[in-house]
Amino acid sequence: MQKAVESLNKLTALAHEDALVTDFVPMLKRLATAEFFTSRTSACGLFAAIYARVGADDKDALRGYHSCCFFLSQLSETASLPSSPRTSRPWSAVLPPATSASS
């Protein structure tokens, strides 16, 4: 999961704005609202790179999804996250710090 997030962040930097809106934003929304924890942590790892590159309208739409990432980062500070072997290591690499909420 960590390598996939890193690769997608690199692609985000290279992608045209139209591709971000048609491909990356919907992917981010699907990941952020997915049932599984690993999908939501992947969304957190992608959020900043995608958010920085989209227009104002898309930023407004994405702000609601950031609250999910912020909530997960607060949980990480209290060690309330799932501790299964599949999630214990990767989530710490992709979650943003809880103190960096975007406005």
pLDDT digits (tens, 9 = 90+) for 22-78: 999 999 889 888 888 888 888 888 888 898 899 888 888 887 776 666 555 554 454
> Residues near 12 by Cβ (< 8 Å), separated by ≥ 6?
20, 24, 46, 49, 50, 53
The reply to whether the predicted model has a pTM over 0.75 is no
> Residues near 47 by Cβ (< 8 Å), separated by ≥ 6?
28, 32, 62, 65, 66, 69, 96
d(CA 20, CA 14): 10
Are 44 and 94 contacting, i.e. CB atoms less than 8 angstroms apart? yes
